[in-house]
Amino acid sequence: MAEHSWRIADDGIVLGEVLEISLQRTLLSAPSDHDPRPSYGRAPLAAGQDVVLAGVGTGEVFWIGFQPLQRAVQVAVRVREESPRDADLVSGGEWMPALSHDPRNYLIVPPERFVSGLGPRNRRLWVEVVALRRGSDTEGRARIDSDEWSRLAAMGVHVEVLTSSEFARITGVTPSPLLETNRYQGRRYP
């Protein structure tokens, strides 16, 4: 198998040893007065050939959570839905290969930690880290526009979102159903 910049650990994707990515499952019908909706747990993951496979059930939607792996590092993250016309899931517009500040087409993690509103139509995703900044002050940085940021060659991962039955057929693992007892009751992610 080819060498990747990612690995799977505890149903999370570790990208470049700087960022953990998780697909947080929730119910389409879950009432929510805040964004993102409450998580019912992480989507199960499996390594495919050059892609991470994720299982999401009928009536479920998901949001993507981001957690930096080093306290003193911020990362710039981009997310693309691959379809006949690639969509930028951060800006909401058409995917552009270059970074843009207006409209901003990247997240700064931290303080931003998720992309929400994803569902069954988001079948193939590309998540990439495009820059990082080291330092103890990780608050208030909303733009990649200073010498403090190191631009990186895109380091990313393809994620193929499958139905529970597709995931079970390919991996032999059936995603567990979402139960109210599994709903996250505590502090917001992370």
Number of compact structural domains in the chain? 1
Residue 158 is predicted with a pLDDT of 94
The answer to the question of residue 130 being in a domain is yes
- What is the 8-class DSSP label of residue 38? P
> In 31-182, which ranges are continuous DSSP H helix?
164-171
Count of CB atoms within 10 A of residue 64's CB?
24
The answer to the question of residue 102 being in a domain is yes
Coil, helix or strand at residue 167:
helix
- pLDDT at residue 185 greater than cutoff 70: no
The answer to the question of residue 190 being in a domain is no
The answer to the question of residue 79 being in a domain is yes
Per-residue pLDDT tens for 122-180?
689 999 888 777 764 445 555 565 555 666 666 899 999 999 999 999 999 998 888 77
Coil, helix or strand at residue 108:
strand
Would the CA dihedral through 159, 163, 166, 169 be positive or negative?
A: positive
Least confident interval from 12-16, 50-54, 56-60, 121-125: 121-125
Question: 0.75 exceeded by the pTM?
Answer: yes
d(CA 62, CA 162): 12
The answer to the question of residue 146 being in a domain is yes
Q: Which structural domain range is residue 53 located in?
A: 6-178
The answer to the question of residue 1 being in a domain is no
- pLDDT at residue 189 greater than cutoff 60: no
The answer to the question of residue 183 being in a domain is no
Least confident interval from 5-19, 52-66, 141-155, 166-180: 141-155
